[in-house]
Each structure stands twice: as structure tokens, then as C-alpha cells.
Amino acid sequence: MMAVSAAADVLSPVAQHQLVRNAPHLWQSFARDFISAANHLDRRAWRAIMRSFKTKRSANSRRRRAPNPMVPQVLYAIALENMLKGLLIARGHRLFDPNDKLVGKYRTHNLLAFASEAGLTLSVAERALVDRLARAITEGKFLVPLAPKPRLRDMGKRASSSDRVAICRLLGRIEDEMRTCGLALPRRDLAKL
């Protein structure tokens, strides 16, 4: 996010907006910041869970609260959304109307539609993962659901360390697609950000 925050210090809000709407690598950079944060929280959450199994504690001992496992999933989902929008821009799609407003269909979190529009072919497992991440954006950011229905956290569909690997592999594929357009940052191992 260095490029975005450096631009924010110098450019007016209108100039920032015009720069970002046509720069897929800035969407990619922003997505990488979410990936890095999600990786950190995900590793921390799994370490805390494993520690709780290994240590015996008395009823009075003080416990550190393990992070909510939905939080990394929400961050990965937002990273995926930004990466897909960056790919769409790299492939020439117009995400903004002439008045510089995001076009209606891109105001949603329909990650499967974005992936399809970007021309990505997803396996059955990847489709399920993308669907779960899309649901995580809407369900994972609020404590109480908008409507009484089964939620991801109630259905045991939480992130796992294997999800992190699969998510980073998918995000890496999207970055590779951006590279074919000549509009991407250098390759990095996203699981190690």
C-alpha cells in the first residue's frame, strides 16, 4: 500500500481516484496488504488454538483470547475482491462510469461473477472457496446477521490453514493473469507475506 498511501499524501482526492481506477497494480498492492494482515492473524489464531490443546490450565488461570477465525477470512475475501477488480481493469473493463462512480454491478461482493467476467476458470473446490469468501464479506463483518439464516460461523465453515494455502494459490493465479496483461507487481509468495 506504499504506492497508494504515498499518492494520498500528494494528490487531491479526485486525482487519487482517477489514478486508482486505471491502475491494476495499485489494486493488487492494496490486496497484498489485506493478504499480509490475514496471514498474520490466521497464523496467530492457529497457534493460539494449538497452544490451548497442548497446555492444561486451571479454572482460575488467565487465558489469552484466540482471534476470531472469521477475521482472516474476511480479509482474504476483501483481498480477492480487490485482486479481481484489478484483473478486470487490466483486461480493459470499465469499473467506473463517466461520472467516476463505481458501476452498480461492481458495488456488490459477487466474487464468482467477477471471476467469471475476468475469464478465470475455477475448479469445483475453488468455486466453493470463492463462494465461502464472498459470504464471509457479508456475514463476517457483523456480529448479528441481517436476516435469521444459517451463517458460515454457525455451519462450521471457518478458515483453516489449508484454506490459507488454497486462497494464496488462487490469488497467485490471478496475479499471474494480471502479468499476462503486463500490468502487475513482481511475483511474491503470497502465503509468506
Q: Are 34 and 4 in contact (CB under 8 A)?
A: no
Cβ neighbours for 125, distance < 8 A, ≥ 6 positions apart: 166
Q: Give the relative orientation of helices 2-10 and 13-21 as an angle to the nearest 10 degrees.
A: 150
In which residue are the cell numbers 467476467 written?
A: 117
125-159 per-position pLDDT tens digit:
999 999 989 988 887 777 666 666 555 554 445 54
Total residues belonging to the chain: 193
Average pLDDT over the chain, rounded to whole? Answer: 80
Cell numbers describing residue 101? 462512480
CATH of the domain spanning 24-55+64-192: 1.20.120
Q: Which amino acid is at 35?
A: I
Q: Where are the domains of the chain?
A: 24-55+64-192
Average pLDDT over every residue of 41-49: 72
Dist CA 84 CA 82 (whole Å): 5
Average pLDDT over every residue of 22-34: 92
pLDDT band at 1 (very low <50, low <70, confident <90, very high): very low
Q: What is the pLDDT of residue 151?
A: 54
Q: What is the pLDDT of residue 172?
A: 95
- Say what the pTM is: 0.80
93-117 per-position pLDDT tens digit:
989 888 888 889 998 999 999 999 9
Cell numbers describing residue 43? 497464523
Cell numbers describing residue 183? 500490468
